[in-house]
Amino acid sequence: MAATLPGAGQAARHAELIEPSTEECRVRFLGHGIGRLAIDTPEGPFVAATPSSTVRSPLGRHPIRTTAVGADVAYEVDHIDEALSQRWSVLIRGRAWAVTDPDIVHRLQALAYSGPRAGGERGMWVSLDPRSITGRRIAVR
CATH class for the domain made up of 15-136: mainly beta
Categorize the per-residue pLDDT at 60 as very low, low, confident or very high, splitting at 50, 70 and 90. low
Check residues 43 and 20 and name the one with the higher pLDDT.
Answer: 20
The predicted structure's pLDDT at residue 16:
83
Q: What does the pLDDT look like over 66-115, one tens digit per residue?
A: 788 888 999 898 888 776 667 889 999 999 888 888 898 788 777 765 55
The mean pLDDT value of the chain amounts to 77
**How many of the other CB atoms lie within 10 Å of CB of 95?**
15
For the chain, give every domain's residue range. Answer: 15-136
Distance of CA 91 to the CA centre of its chain: 8
Q: pTM of the predicted model, to two decimals?
A: 0.74
